[in-house]
Structure formats: structure tokens, C-alpha cells
Amino acid sequence: MRLIGGLELLAAFGLILPAATGIAPVFTALAATGLAVVMALAFNTHWRRHEPSGMVFTAALSPAAVVVAFGPFGPYEF
């Protein structure tokens, strides 16, 4: 659990700091990609444990991570 929490904390810093400072904004996309992978693994864990509330929460947040991950590579890059 501490590993997962640490990874999510690093992903949060990776999402906010590069975009806010303007230094290497590609790291925002990389952090979002890593967060999307963590969310997919979290969904799998909730599925195996039969925790529907965790699956709903994870499924609701995963598309946001995917949109941020592919944002810099689309026609409307930020």
C-alpha cells in the first residue's frame, strides 16, 4: 500500500510541476501515462477483491488520466 501511495504521490507531482513551471512539459504526459497504468492495475485489484465501489471510482478517474496523457500529442496540445 505504501508503494502504491508513493507512486500516486509522484504521479501527482509529475502532473502538476512540469506544467506549472514550464520546464519539460513532456513529463506531464509521462506522469499521466504512469498514473493510467496504476489505475488499470488498481481496477484489476478491485475486480479480484469484488469491491464494486473501488471499481467505479477507478473507472471514473482513468479516462481523465488517459486524456492528459495523450493531450500533448493531439491537435490541441497545451
* 3 state DSSP class of 77: coil
Please list the rounded mean pLDDT of every run of 10 residues in the chain (78 residues). Answer: 81 85 82 85 90 87 80 62
Using CA atoms, how far residue 43 sits from 7, 15, 28, 32, 57, in Å, is 16, 21, 22, 16, 9
pTM of the model: 0.74
